[in-house]
């Protein structure tokens, strides 16, 4: 069976939704959820990018632990925040 993973990162929480087709119908299941929110980092309020990345990886690890490795992964976020990266993909500041 082929599985597809959708990761939704919202302003207060995030979740991993695993989907597959069963007899022509889409079946979905929330397999992982985590808290999210603004944090004070280096004296300014911002998103914890490293923490979010770890939670994304934790949810993918959960897929593996239950034997449902996704064929594809899509991530949806609030879409208006950004970070700048240098030529080595290192964060240049907080989000």
**CA–CA dist 20, 66 (Å, integer):** 14
In tens, the pLDDT along 67-89 reads 999 999 999 987 777 889 999 99
The topology (CATH level 3) of 3-76 is Nucleotidyltransferase; domain 5 (3.30.420)
Q: Can you give the C-alpha Rg of the chain in angstroms?
A: 15
Check if the beta carbon of residue 58 is closer than 8 Å to that of residue 32.
yes
Check if the beta carbon of residue 78 is closer than 8 Å to that of residue 9.
yes
For the chain, the structural domain boundaries read: 3-76
User: What band does 55 get if pLDDT is binned at 50, 70 and 90?
Assistant: very high
In tens, the pLDDT along 22-52 reads 999 999 999 999 999 888 988 989 988 889 9
**CA–CA dist 72, 22 (Å, integer):** 17
Q: What is the pLDDT, as a whole number, of residue 42? A: 84
Number of neighbouring beta carbons within 10 Å of residue 18: 21
CB-side neighbour CA atoms (13 Å) of 1 = 13
The pTM assigned to this predicted structure is: 0.86
């Amino acid at each position: 069976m082929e599985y597809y993973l959708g990761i939704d990162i919202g302003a207060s929480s995030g979740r991993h939704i695993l989907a597959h087709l069963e007899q022509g119908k889409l079946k979905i299941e929330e397999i992982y959820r985590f808290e999210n929110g603004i944090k004070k980092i280096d004296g300014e309020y911002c998103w914890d990018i490293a923490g979010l990345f770890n939670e994304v990886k934790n949810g993918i690890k959960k897929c593996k632990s239950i034997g449902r490795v996704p064929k594809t992964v899509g991530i949806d976020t609030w879409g208006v925040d950004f970070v700048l990266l240098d030529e080595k993909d290192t964060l240049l500041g907080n989000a």
